[in-house]
């Protein structure tokens, strides 16, 4: 069961720059480097966490109080 890949086109000049940049690094290919950069960029677009409903939050707080975590 191999990992699935797809193709993205980038300007040739940019590819060449990336090819130079990965020389002597831990990246085995331009594709690995591009995947790394893309993951880094996408991580920055992550939103904030969901907010619990007031009822749920109150229930949790009751347990936290009972255990002595909050007053």
Partner 1 sequence: MILPHGGKLIERVLAGEARAEALVRAKSLPSVALDFDATSEVENIATGVFSPLEGFLGERDFRSVLGEMRLSSDVPWTIPIVLDVDKPTAGRLKIGSEVALLNPAGSPAALLHLEEKYAFDRGKTARSVFGTADPAHPGVAKVLAMKDVLLAGPLDLIAATPTPFDRWKLSPRETRVLFQAKGWRTVVGFQTRNTPHIGHEYVQKAALTYVDGLFINPVIGRKKKGDYKDEVILASYEELIRGYYVPERTTMAVLMMEMRYAGPREAIHHAVIRKNFGCTHIIIGRDHAGVGSYYPPFAAHAIFDAFPDLGIQPLFFRSFYYCRKCLAVVNEKICPHPAADQIQFSGTKIRDLLVQGEYPPAELVRPEVAKAIMDFGNPFNE
Q: Which residues bind partner 1 (CB under 8 A)?
A: 1, 3-4, 26, 36-37, 39-40, 42-43, 46-52, 56-57, 60-61, 63-64, 67, 69-70
At its nearest, how many Å lie between partner 1 and the CB of residue 44? 9
Residue among 13 and 48 whose Cβ is closer to partner 1? 48
3-state SS record for the chain: CCCCCCCCCCCHHHHHHHHHHHCCCCCCCHHHHHHHHHHHHHHCCCCCCCCCCHHHHHHHHHHHHHCCCCC
The nearer residue to partner 1, 8 or 26, going by C-beta atoms, is: 26
Closest distance between partner 1 and the C-beta of residue 21, in Å?
A: 15
């Amino acid at each position: 069961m191999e990992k699935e890949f797809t193709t993205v086109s980038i300007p040739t000049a940019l590819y060449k720059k990336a090819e130079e940049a990965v020389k002597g690094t831990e990246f085995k290919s331009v594709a690995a480097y591009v995947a790394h950069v893309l993951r880094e960029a996408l991580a920055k677009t992550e939103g904030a966490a969901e907010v619990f409903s007031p009822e749920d939050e109150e229930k949790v707080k009751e347990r936290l109080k009972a255990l002595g975590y909050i007053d």
